[in-house]
Amino acid sequence: PMSFFSGIGAASKKGVLVKGSNYLETMAKLHTGVFDKTGTLTKGEFKVAEIHSVDGDEKKQSMVLELAALAESYSDHPISRSIRDAWGKKLDQSRVSDAEEISGHGVKVKIDGKTVLAGNGKLMDKEGISYTECASVGTVVYVAEEGKFLGSIVIADLIKDGVKDAIRSLKRAGVSKTVMLTGDAEPVAKAVSAELGLDEYHAGLLPGDKVDQIETLLAAKRPKENLAFVGDGINDAPVLSRADVGIAMGALGSDAAIEAADVVLMDDDPAKIALAMRIARRTLRIVYQNIVFALAIKFACLVLGAIGMASMWTAIFADVGVMVLAVLNATRALYTKDLAKKNAQ
């Protein structure tokens, strides 16, 4: 136990909160790393990149943006904030009523008494609205009023600094498969996956679909291989609970995700996952050293006692002495300076 406590303490010094020794042991044997996209691999700092109306009229583009901003006025989602920021004017929320957020699809509200939809293509399909699919790379929000498609808004999200290096560090640490799960459209997921060098991606997923994908990945892995899921949103909580080890972003992550996770990255730096793996493996090596050392000494003293060559001092060393040496060896797990340098390289 002292070795594991030291390993957990070493990880906490580096900004990684491990909630138990069993999770530290699991971290040492990671085979598959699964990542949510928004807020985990990307900054979640969305900006409106393009606005399209049905006929390309600039006045109608302004109307599309205004309706979308009003529709998203009650939501605190990063995409909603980016649309409101792009509108840049004060919103009269008295014009909005009957706001309904449809998980994984978008929002449905009444603006000036008219039903307005703002969301992805699934929302348009669900409501039976014919729309023109936008080919631009980014998160696309389609806007419709009274069953008529008006236009679309393309929102771009930037990849976090250092994520590419973090993925490479995981590969060097022994993670052989990296997967991204996202609710974004196929072109966005493909572009991000290619830029980061991920092995696999799954796009257009609802929260329940992410759980199904995790179940599929868990069924495909070997018994001694472990799977980690890294996420930050409230919708990621079920997936974090289902993975062998759930890793949450602690700085900007939701309370639900942090509560459901087994490991929390306090500064939202994915590179800390590889560092935690190295700490976990070093801790396990020390644990095995202590077990082998203690059993070997005790067995040797039993043999010496059986042939009449063991004294009282020998017995004391086999009991108390071995314990003291094991504790001293366990404190080595607290030393992480060399691991930090290796991680930086």
Gyration radius (Cα) of the chain, Å: 27
In whole angstroms, give the CA distance from residue 14 to residue 137.
36
Out of 36, 157, 184, 232, the active site residue is 36
**Residues 67 and 156: beta-carbon distance below 8 Å:** no
Nearest C-alpha neighbor of 258 from the set 228, 277, 230: 230
161 is catalytic: no
Sheet-wide strand order for 263-265: 16-18, 263-265, 245-249, 226-231, 30-36, 177-181, 200-202
Torsion of CA 7, 9, 11, 14, to 10 degrees: -150
**Residues 130 and 105: beta-carbon distance below 8 Å:** no
Q: Tell me the Ramachandran region of residue 220: left when phi exceeds 0, alpha when psi lies from -120 to 50, beta otherwise.
A: alpha
In whole angstroms, give the CA distance from residue 106 to residue 126.
11
Catalytic residues: 36
